[in-house]
Structure 1
Amino acid sequence: MTRAGHVELLDAPRIRLVETAAPELSPDHRSAMDRRWAQAVRANPALFDGPVAALTGLQRDGRDGLVLSWARATYRYRALRGVPDAPVCCSLFVSVVQPSGDGRLMVGRMAASTAAPGRWQLPGGTVEPPEEGAELDVDGLRRHAARELSEETGSDTPAEALTLWLTTRGAGGGVGVMFLAPPCPDRELRERYARLVSTETGEGREPEFDRIALIRPPAGLDALEGPHVDYLEPVLRHYADTEV
């Protein structure tokens, strides 16, 4: 485990996911959560109260493993973070490190219609729970990561081509499971994204990324205009240091 600022990098080749019950809320906590969520939606109508697999715990499993506990919840549970003494469900998300042929990495800027407009990040997103009664495992995370990569960048990389690479934990407790994609020529990466944008806009939708960039880690981060997600700098530095 290494620390980079307030983000922990957890090198764990084994991950086990365990479903738990969602935290019980008192009437006061639920009322406060609903009120804060309504305020957040008024401020950003793009917010959507869809199902999520919320992180409820993280433990080490020997020297090279992690156990991630999760519960079925919805996005509004994130509003509990600002409620005193309330149980907190942290974020569980997947990301994909996509190298170009010359060793640069692809990042994307979130569009105005998303929950984090203008923020640079790796392709990926919040983990969704499987169907009721089904288990969530690393293969499920891998499929979700491949789907996010396709939806945000136009990639046709299959899930089985993604390799489990790194896990991050932010200051707020959110955990990201990162997968490494095979290198792809930069021209092909840009052409895939251009085709995606053309299709999405042609059907009246705004792409989740309004821009992509290929940057050389970690120095290329300075060339990005606007904020970036907290894990981005330490992950880019780790990639450069380990020469994946």
Structure 2
Amino acid sequence: MSFDLPRNVILPVDAVDVRLDPGPHPFERDNRQAIAENWRREVRANPALFDGTVVLLSALAYRDSRLVGRCHAVKYSTFMLWRQNRQGTGAEHAYAHAMLVAGDNALVAIRMGAHTVNAGRVYFAAGSFEPVDFRDGLVDADFNMIREVGEETGIDLSGAARGQRYHALSTPSGTVIFRRYRIVEPAGEIARRISAFVAAEAEPEIEGPVIIRHAADLPEGLMGHMKPLIEWHFAGKD
């Protein structure tokens, strides 16, 4: 199967069948020394880094409106080495975005904190899949989205209306799986709630909320994969 899916196009996704393989990822198995050496350099540059557990794909395909794949738990230090030179590694990254839609149809994204790897960058509150996001070996993308938004913004999406299906966009930097989550409050009120949550946190992950009100309203620091998602939303796609 390897990696077999259309690139740079938004795909409708009715199911995410990505399973966690208990075996080691070949990239981590074959690069342990380089991973350790690079991690020492990364920590010297940013002592706030934590070598937790995330997942990397070893296969992903798009079949009959489904994403089918295989991933492995790896250390964050493995991910940090891999992201420096992704070509020919036999690994790819997938992550999920809850597209937070306010009652006035504006989008509410976040800007990452200065101590993070993506300092100053703007995207929807999100994080890599972790082993906790899997149920009987199968990824639960909605659980990941709700968990990450709650941890970063304090917003509970568990009762929010969800889009009919997932969508996905695969680019050279990774595959983002996204879904609309609608909240009745206007964007300004949601942003106020997020700002209050961030102000109360001892070590917040994010700098604060970013409101996007139309397709041309692209904030400074926007991650490259976000522009097609924003255009898709304001074009009324589903």
Q: TM-score normalised by the shorter chain: which range applies?
A: 0.7 to 0.9
Given the alignment of the two structures, is residue 219 of structure 1 paired with residue 219 of structure 2, yes or no?
no
Identity of aligned residues (%): 25
Shift of 1:87: 3.4
Q: CA deviation at 1:113?
A: 1.7
1:176 counterpart letter in structure 2 = V
What does residue range 93-112 of structure 1 map to in structure 2 within 5 Å? 93-112=95-114
- Classify 1:183/1:161 alpha carbon distance in 2 versus 1 (closer, same or farther; 3 Å): closer
Q: Is the 8 A contact 1:94 1:178 kept in 2?
A: yes
Q: 1:243 and 1:82 mapped to 2: Cα distance?
A: 34
Determine the C-alpha separation between the residues in 2 that align with 1:93 and 1:84: 16
- Letter aligned with residue 193 of structure 2: R
**Counterpart selection for 1:43 from 45, 50, 53:** 45
Unmatched segments (≥5 aa) in structure 2: none
The CA deviation at 1:54 is 1.4
1:168 aligns with 169
CA 1:26 to 1:2, structure 2 compared with 1: closer, same or farther past 3 Å? closer
Deviations 1:80-129 (A, max 9, x none): 35469973432221111111222110111100121211101111111101
SS of residue in 1 equivalent to 2:118: coil
CA 1:160–1:188 in 2, change beyond 3 Å: closer, same or farther?
closer
Q: Tell me, in whole angstroms, the C-alpha distance in 2 between the residues paired with 1:2 and 1:217.
A: 27
Tell me which protein shows more strand as a share of its residues. 2
Question: Over aligned residue pairs, what C-alpha RMSD do you find?
Answer: 2.8
Query: Offset of 1:181 from its aligned partner?
Result: 0.6
Following TM superposition, by how much is the alpha carbon of 1:26 offset from its aligned partner in structure 2, in angstroms? 8.7
Indicate whether 1:13 and 2:14 are aligned. Answer: yes
1:114 alignment partner, one of 103, 113, 116: 116
**Could you list the per-position Cα deviations for residues 49-82 of structure 1 after superposition, in whole angstroms to 9, with x for gaps in the alignment?**
11112122111222x1110211111111120354
Cα 1:81/1:211, change in 2 over 3 Å: closer
Counterparts of residues 1-244 of structure 1 (less than 5 Å): 7-20=8-21, 21-24=23-26, 29-62=31-64, 64-78=65-79, 79-82=81-84, 87-130=89-132, 134-137=136-139, 140-158=140-158, 161-163=161-163, 164-172=165-173, 174-185=174-185, 186-200=187-201, 205-221=202-218, 224-225=219-220, 227-243=221-237
CA contact (8 A) 2:160 2:181 kept: no
Count of residue pairs brought into register by the alignment: 230
CA distance in 2, matches of 1:148, 1:84: 25
1: distance between equivalents of 2:133 and 2:209? Answer: 32
SS of structure 2 residue aligned to 1:124: coil
Higher helix share goes to which structure?
1
- Indicate if the aligned counterparts of 1:18 and 1:68 stay in contact, CA closer than 8 A: yes
Kindly indicate whether the alpha-carbon contact (under 8 Å) linking 2:111 and 2:122 is maintained by their aligned counterparts in 1: yes
The DSSP-based 3-state class of the residue aligned with 1:242 is: coil
Q: Match of 1:121, as an amino acid?
A: Y
Which TM-score applies when normalising by structure 2?
A: 0.84
Name structure 1 gaps, 5 residues minimum: none
Residue by residue over 1:194-242, the C-alpha shift from the partner in whole angstroms, topping out at 9 and shown as x without a partner, is: 3312321xxxx23222121211232110xx23x2222110111111223
How far apart in 1 are the matches of 2:134 and 2:146?
22
Normalised by the size of structure 1, how large is the TM-score?
0.82
1:243: Cα distance to partner?
4.5
Consecutive aligned runs of 4 or more in structure 1 exceeding 4 Å deviation: 25-28, 81-86
